[in-house]
Amino acid sequence: MKVAVVGVTGMVGQIMLKVLEERNFPITELIPVASEKSIGKKIYFRGKECSVVSMREAIVKRPNIALFSAGGGTSLEFAPKFAEVGTTVIDNSSAWRMDSTKKLVVPEINAHVLTKEDKIIANPNCSTIQLVMVLNPLHQKYGIKRVVVSTYQSVTGTGKHAVNQLNAEIKGEDCEKVYPYQIFKNALPQCDVFAEDDYTKEELKLMNEPKKIMNDECLKISATAVRVPVQGGHSESVNIEFDKDFDLEEVKFILANTSGIILQDDVSQKQYPMPFYCEGKDEVFVGRIRRDYSQPNTLNCWIVADNLRKGAATNAVQIAEYLVENQLV
């Protein structure tokens, strides 16, 4: 099977190669794709050297699957061109997520909606993925009335230049600023640009994407997204109000037995999820589960995941695996 990785030199592209290799995805030919300035650059996959090619060269090769992580503008321009030659595109940008003609997929939740006709498939926002992984099984059991989520997001979500800024600031060195302020020793209540009603685009993604993934337009979600000087993954403080009451032990049992989730919730042993320890892992970690005594039928929890893996690369590869296993490509 021919697989193109578009944006292969970026942070997510590099992790995509790693995940494809780790999961032994069935590839007969890897087609690494990047911007014009990277054409000819050598990358290594399964111990073999491959040369980065242009977008047009990759389209001519007609890959079966193209994993895109190259930004919304690139995806809007080139994903349809890949689709025209029969390639199934799995796109990590925000370009297609809320397009009513495209599927927005977290495999553990809604891969069943995919068909052979879906030639452009959207990968959700990183912070959305870890949120819905926890919300969905609880919604099925208790019905969710309202969610309030505050995120504490890794600089890796912004990209290489943001990581460079943090590391330079830690060392006291001058550097190119990606953020409007210093990120070291700071917390910026702005992820992405500001949009309507003074919410950021990141917050709007958190408020809207779960409705599409979980197929429930009645979900009420309020979000605040904060960038913090962390590199391992995104963390989320989540308050969930249900339609009916719940048993805490049953909630923990449901989550512990949900594929893709690891329950870390033993405060007596100081066991709870942390981004430092989730880095490099594919699961979503949840803990600090406790009843909210300020109102009925409500709980608090803490969700952590590696935003470059389950929040991006791993989820995309899992979609590709589902397509192959179900003969949809």
Residues in Cβ contact with 149 at an 8 Å cutoff, skipping those fewer than 6 apart:
131, 206, 221, 222, 223, 224, 236, 237, 238, 239
What's the one-letter identity of residue 69? S
Instruction: Look up 112 and say whether it is catalytic.
Output: no
Instruction: Look up 234 and say whether it is catalytic.
Output: yes
Q: Is 124 helix (H, G, I), strand (E, B) or coil?
A: coil
Partner residues linked to 90 by β-bridges = 67, 121
Residue of 300, 319, 280, 307 whose CA lies nearest to 119: 319
- Taking CA 306 as the corner, what is the angle to CA 180 and CA 89, rounded to the nearest 5 degrees? 90
Q: How far apart are CA 320 and CA 326, in angstroms?
A: 10
- Taking CA 56 as the corner, what is the angle to CA 52 and CA 59, rounded to the nearest 5 degrees? 95
Q: Which two tokens stand for residue 147?
A: 């969610």
Q: How far apart are CA 34 and CA 277, in angstroms?
A: 31
Q: Which helix (H) or strand (E) holds 204?
A: helix 201-213
Q: How far apart are CA 230 and CA 249, in angstroms?
A: 31
**Unique residue bearing structure tokens 């963390």:** 235
Residues in Cβ contact with 181 at an 8 Å cutoff, skipping those fewer than 6 apart:
188
Local structure of residue 100 (DSSP, 8 states): T
What's the one-letter identity of residue 296? P
Residue of 214, 247, 221 whose CA lies nearest to 236: 221
Q: 126, 191, 278, 301: which one is catalytic? A: 126
Q: 50, 139, 191, 234: which one is catalytic? A: 234
Q: How far apart are CA 121 and CA 114, in angstroms?
A: 9
Q: Catalytic residue numbers?
A: 126, 234
